[in-house]
Amino acid sequence: MISSPKSLIAIFLMLTTSNLSLICTANIIIGK
């Protein structure tokens, strides 16, 4: 399952989305 391209893409998208949300939250906190 881990070696299949679809799972790698799904994991990559999940990590990217979580990272973007964390960056946005940090920017909002720093912006205030």
Which tokens in the block code for residue 18?
Answer: 């979580």
Give Cα separations from 9 to 4, 13, 15, 17, 21 (angstroms).
9, 6, 10, 12, 18
* pLDDT averaged per 10 residues in sequence order, the chain, 32 residues: 80 94 93 82
Task: Supply the pTM of this predicted model.
Answer: 0.55
Query: pLDDT value at position 2?
Result: 58
